[in-house]
Amino acid sequence: MAALTKFSVEDVKKLAKDLPLDDLKDKTDSAFSGDMINYSLAACYLACQKGLGLVPFDEQLIAAYEIFNDKIIHMNTGEGKTIAAVFAAYLKIKAKHKVHILTFNDYLAKRDCKWMKPITDLLGLKTGYLLESTAREERRELYKCDILYSTVKEIGFDFLRDFTAIKENDVIQPGFDVAIVDEADSILIDEARIPLVIAGDLPVYISEQLPDISAFVGTFNTNDYGVSEEDGSAYLKNPGTSKTEEHFGVENLYDNTNIGLLSAVNDCLKARYLLKQDKDYIVADNEIKLVDEYTGRVAANRHYPGSLHAAVETLHGIPYSSHGVEMGIIPIQFFVRQYKSLCGMTGTASDSEEEFELLYGLELKVIPPHMPCIRKDHGISVYYNSDIKTHEVINEIVKRHQKGQPILAGTASISESERLAKLLADKGINVKVLNAKQDEQEAEIIKNAGALNAVTISTNIAGRGVDILLGGADLATREEVIKAGGLCVISTGMRESSRINKQLIGRAGRQGDIGESMIFVSLDEEIMERGGLKKLLPGKRLPEYTEGKITEKTLLREVRRVQRIVEGDMLDRRKQLLKFTVIGEKHRDATFSYRKKILTGKIAPDFWQSENPDLYELAVSKHGEEKINELQIELAAASINEAWCDYLEYTSDLRRGIHLTKVGGKSPSDEYNISSEEYFNKMEGQVSEIMACYLKDITDINDLALLKVNKPSKTWTYLLDESVDELAKQPFLVNVLTEYVLDEEEEKIEATEKTGFFKKLFKLN
């Protein structure tokens, strides 16, 4: 590709004046030069004018160019990221690429694709959107689109589904080329650690003792267990350990023979004393539905890991749901690395510059606003406790509502949003509540949050991607709203990341609109304990009780510092977990890549010819060479699946119990990686044994239709919530993990170079 040095906004606009769009539609160029960039963006500029009746901002052209150059761009709310993305996608397509635009949810994927269709049609592009409801047979054609709009989880689930395919025709993804990630901070950072999972309907073991264990744990008092909000963990204290040993008749609960009991007790502790209904999850339709901590939405198809989900179900008297056997798992952070080119955009990326560079090697570019922001930010108001804070929030909303000013209040949980709504209703104020329980109405509610007299209560950043227009969706009361002060955004607390507060605040003041923002904080919020506020204050003591707003400068400074401390802690954890999971990602990449080569014919498996030649010849003479070789491909894929399921089960059990190695003076992270590698290397023999058994069965039957293949009759996908994962939350493990440093030589290995049994068995280079 030629050097990209000739991009110019002025040249783009000059070209667009007389550009015959139809001439560009079918134009193919062998070289994609700087002039071609201007020419292509000019076509986009003209298509936007003709198709949408909108004149693109200079800033949108700049943003498109930076995204094309694989940058993460910071672009304020309402500045037109959706248009910039389709312009960047067109540049990528002219450079001979296929593009996936990954949005925050299905609604936005469908909306953006349809919204941009007049532009893409004029440019001669084939576009489509892939949703959770999209049928499997439709997806193959959608992956042929020039631009495909979808969510990271749906594309990722198809990646995992392809891993379970045992015939080439069942593989639907051609590969991963370019991903443009919308709301990049949420997807690439906040949700990055969440694993995508595919499971099969093979039996899964849940301890029959779980109901008894749950009831027993319910008899504990605070001397028997501890809960650390800072680390997100629940654990047994010595009295609780003694009670458990006596109740279940075991001598040493921490002996390896009792690891199953210990895990079940820990899960029941977390379910009962750590997780909170209507904050971490809701109970609806006789199911446990997890709530995303960043968005406040119900996270569709997400489950807690291991038997923790069953422990929560038990607590609420719900029958165990069938989670099956994990057949494939990949964290979002590692899935997006499948793309050859990764770029994105968001309105709050500037606070995550270090993480984008550290985790993905992506450079951040800040795009200046088209219109200066005139929103008035009142900053943080600190109160002694949550009761006083809530009282002040209510008073503020009532005062502003009386003059007609629209208000958007962002809360930390479902229960808080509903409590606040009830208090306002008691004062005669009509409130729209937007939380996980009204997820389907999200877009309709949020787009009218700027209407005169509107009061909307939401959880965190619900409704992202939908503009709040002053005067409502139809702008009917715009002038009156402007006179009232524009949209006022109120955050009812300090979140664990300043980005979350900024995401909420950014809903006001779009495109030079008038608006206001306020943050109300109390000293008894969870984040204050996690960030160690008391330890930061002189004398390690909170100030005396007061019902008014706290103005003491030292305390206000330390309150702001708490958020930075917690942000730093979360970043450290993501770094530590990244190091801890590297070996598993290497193993998965090796397994998945080889298996796909088998199915697509790039490698012909020869298990039977090389290891059991006599039986192979017998099978060929009995059933025919073509049929046997075709069957060997299908059974090789099924055998690798079976071995991989065992690997996932082994490493999952290992994760739950590995912290016990610290008692013996060993490093849990080192022991985990050593044990995982040893088990992975033994998979060579396991795959060979499975294939040998199949070959023996084939020679014993006359009709291949009678061959029994160990594969699930159905599969399903979901997301794990690892916010209470053993490795992430055990306090001492967090410290131990920092000792684990990747070998320098290991870091230099190219992504395509595989190690372990696949390199040896399948002769990979």
pTM for this model (two decimals): 0.81
Residue 371 is assigned to a structural domain of this protein = no
Residue 4 is assigned to a structural domain of this protein = no
So what's the pLDDT on residue 756? 35
Q: 133 with 274, same domain?
A: no
In this structure, the number of other CB atoms found within 10 A of the CB of residue 112 comes to 23
Q: 282 with 347, same domain?
A: no
* Structure tokens that stand for 673 in this block: 């990686």
- Determine if residue 317 is left, alpha or beta; phi over 0 gives left, psi from -120 to 50 gives alpha, anything else beta: left
CATH code of the domain in which 263 resides: 3.90.1440.10
Q: 337 with 313, same domain?
A: no
Q: How far apart are the first and last CA of the chain?
A: 28
Q: How does pLDDT run across 155-207, given as a tens digit for each residue?
A: 999 999 999 998 888 899 998 999 999 989 888 988 887 889 898 876 556 77
In this structure, the number of other CB atoms found within 10 A of the CB of residue 253 comes to 17
Q: 312 with 455, same domain?
A: no
So what's the pLDDT on residue 29? 56
Residue 279 is assigned to a structural domain of this protein = yes
Q: Contact, 198 vs 161, CB < 8 A?
A: yes
Q: Contact, 346 vs 186, CB < 8 A?
A: yes
Residue 284 is assigned to a structural domain of this protein = yes
Q: 123 with 257, same domain?
A: no
750: pLDDT strictly greater than 60? no
So what's the pLDDT on residue 462? 57
Taking each helix axis from N to C end, the angle separating 210-217 and 259-269, rounded to the nearest 10 degrees, works out to 50
* Owning domain of residue 625: 568-762
Q: How does pLDDT run across 270-291, given as a tens digit for each residue?
A: 999 999 998 889 999 899 998 8
Comparison of pLDDT for 540 and 85, the residue scoring more: 85
Q: 111 with 166, same domain?
A: yes
How many domains are contained in the chain? 4
| Average pLDDT along the chain | 85
In terms of Cα–Cα distance, which of 672, 712, 711 is closest to 690?
A: 711
So what's the pLDDT on residue 660? 52
- Cα 375-381-382 angle, rounded to 5 deg: 160
Q: 68 with 149, same domain?
A: yes
Q: 625 with 694, same domain?
A: yes
CATH code of the domain in which 661 resides: 1.10.3060.10
Q: 118 with 234, same domain?
A: no
Q: Could you tell me what percent of the chain has a pLDDT over 70? A: 85
Cα dihedral 75/77/78/84 (nearest 10): 30
Residue 532 is assigned to a structural domain of this protein = no
Q: How does pLDDT run across 679-715, given as a tens digit for each residue?
A: 999 988 999 999 999 999 999 999 999 998 888 878 8
Taking each helix axis from N to C end, the angle separating 152-164 and 553-599, rounded to the nearest 10 degrees, works out to 30
Q: Contact, 645 vs 325, CB < 8 A?
A: yes
Q: 717 with 740, same domain?
A: yes
What average pLDDT score do residues 34-58 get? 92
- Cα 201-207-212 angle, rounded to 5 deg: 140
Q: 644 with 676, same domain?
A: yes
* Confidence grade of residue 353 (pLDDT, cut at 50, 70, 90): confident
Q: 173 with 230, same domain?
A: no
Q: How does pLDDT run across 457-512, given as a tens digit for each residue?
A: 988 655 567 788 999 989 999 999 999 999 999 999 998 888 888 888 988 998 88
What average pLDDT score do residues 23-52 get? 78
Residue 182 is assigned to a structural domain of this protein = yes
Residue 346 is assigned to a structural domain of this protein = yes
* Confidence grade of residue 619 (pLDDT, cut at 50, 70, 90): very high
* Confidence grade of residue 741 (pLDDT, cut at 50, 70, 90): very low
CATH code of the domain in which 79 resides: 3.40.50.300
What average pLDDT score do residues 617-637 get? 95
Residue 559 is assigned to a structural domain of this protein = no
